[in-house]
Chain A
Amino acid sequence: MNKILPSILVLALLAGLPLLSLPEYLLHLLITAFLLGLACTGWAMMGRFGQVSFGHGAFTGIGAYGMAMMWNLYGVSPWIGIPISVVLAAAAGALLGWPCFRLRVVGHYFALVTLAAGEIVRIFVTAAREITGGSLGMTPHLAPEAAFSAMQFSKSGFWWITLGAWAIGILVWHLQNRSMSAQALSAISEDEDAAASIGIRVAWEKLKVTVVSAALAALAGALMAQYRLYLNPETSAGLGISLQIVFGAIAGGMYGPLGPTIGALFTIGLEEVLRVFFGTGLIGAAPLIYGLLLVLFVLFMPRGLMGLFESRRHLGPGKSSSTKTPQRVGT
């Protein structure tokens, strides 16, 4: 039953990848995919309990721009700026979530509220062009003489940071899975009134998971920006990244800790394939294919790619039926 040793072993193996002198391009894809995987893991912590957010781009955006603005405007090192902007994003999650959960904004309505939230952050970033660079994007100042404190590393250095952050996400998932909150949330996702009647603090439990989920998305967003050393309202915030996170989590499967990461790997792989095939020849082809695949996944593979590897017996707590997932994901 001891999962700690194998986990450390896998992590060590992954950490050793740069030593194999992989092509830079492959390492680049892995970094991107694992950072997206971190965001998807955070998303799935809510999503698997029926709290579907189309606005996690708001949190990646706050994480990215918070970090970059602190560095560019005040010279705050990303090592400090990232934790601060993660806290800011968590606070934004609380601010968004609390009224929703108190007023019982659930299902489609919750999805719409979050959708708007993601767009608000994107529009705000675009509008505040004096400090954010607007739609032209923003480049964190380079600091070659102080690369460590500026968190500006080579690809392998960044791979290790990515891996550390990703491992935090997986750890948080496990902690959630073992906690009473997971039980409470699965009860809430089935019937909020019944959950309240047995003393579950419905709004509070939903708020907790939203805050944690927002924080993980923000961490991913900030690291993504720091890795690319380029921020753009379209790619760091807003609907595009929100949908990418949703797609990754659903495609990979939300009911095991590795599902969202598998989904992220698939998403990034697909993106590259589409880019190579279509290039700029067919603008709009990629979102179309995403949308189509999303529908197909929800209909035919509600447990995602990970569902292919699951044995029937070995399901997570409260997830003993595969028939329920379509409705849950769809709402």
Chain B
Amino acid sequence: MNGSATLELSGIQAGYGDFQALFGVALRVEPGEAVGVVGPNGAGKTTLLRVISGLLRPKVGTLRYGDQDLTKVPAHLLPELGIAHVPENRRLFPHLTVEENLKVGAYAKSARAEFAKRRDRVYDLFPRMAQRRHQLAGTMSGGEQQMCAIGRALMCAPKLLLLDEPSAGLAPLVVQQVFDLVRRIRQEGLTVLIVEQNVAQVLRVVDRAYVLETGRVAAEGKSAELSADPVLRRSYLGMH
């Protein structure tokens, strides 16, 4: 895969029934890069992520991962390919313990044999989870749940991690902690794609970002450039 993008979308059009949510979105994520997709409610951020993770098939457009055409791959095989999805609102299994949540994260055939090793790695990365391993996931705080959800995604040893609104519903201080987690994961060499409404925070973590507006890419660029862009500052960062 040398030189080719980890993930490449072009001309993606997608929607639900007659309703079209994405109008020709193009996006590229290079290996080892962290990329953000930001935008207001209803811009199509989650739809975009659903397209990437195979839960929604695009009507038009190409979607490639390395040299593979992802539009042909069933969603349940993505973890085998090294793509892990942390869904919006974490979606843990609240009545399973932390460790059991991690265990189902290693459901992919290639991951089952590696369970113990990967679990220990997640515990190394997030020592808090090791302390809480026998606690029911639903009884933990929001930040810990997010940590557990990311840990669960790491169990399939992904190369590409898709994060959907990791800050949703979390207190500002906890949001910072969650983005610290993302930084830590990046140091492990993972490629990360974050969809986020919290523009200010996400721009501090990612290398580049795309601004999505009503299903179209309205702007893209390096994080530093985007956070300096006066239009963007006014519309998304509430700064003047």
Contacts and interface: CB of A to CB of B under 8 A. Distances in A.
Contact of A321 (B76, B79, B95, B155): B95
Interface string A159-200: 000000000000000000000100110110011011111111
B93 A190 contact: yes
B92 A198 contact: no
B87 A187 contact: no
Contact of B93 (A180, A187, A201, A204): A187
A191 B156 CA distance: 19
A198 B107 contact: yes
A275 interface: no
B91 A194 contact: yes
A35 to B, nearest CB: 33
Interface in B65-118: 75-80, 84-87, 91-97, 100, 103-105, 107-108, 112
Contact of A196 (B55, B94, B100, B105): B55
B122 interface: no
B4 to A, nearest CB: 24
A194 B92 contact: yes
A184 B107 contact: yes
B91 A197 contact: yes
Nearest to A186: B96
Given A183-B103, A184-B104, A199 B76 contact: yes
A129 interface: no
B76 A200 contact: yes
Contact of B107 (A193, A199, A324): A199
Main secondary structure of the interface of B (DSSP, over half): mixed
Contact of B87 (A197, A199, A201): A197
A320 B78 contact: no
Contacts of B85: 197-198
B129 interface: no
A318 interface: yes
Given A180-B107, A184-B104, A320-B136, A198 B96 contact: no
A193 B136 contact: no
Contacts of A183: 100, 103-104, 107
Nearest to A187: B104
B80 A190 contact: no
Contacts of A199: 75-80, 107-108, 156
15 contacts: A180-B107, A186-B93, A186-B100, A190-B94, A191-B93, A196-B75, A196-B76, A198-B79, A198-B156, A199-B80, A199-B107, A200-B104, A318-B100, A320-B97, A321-B136
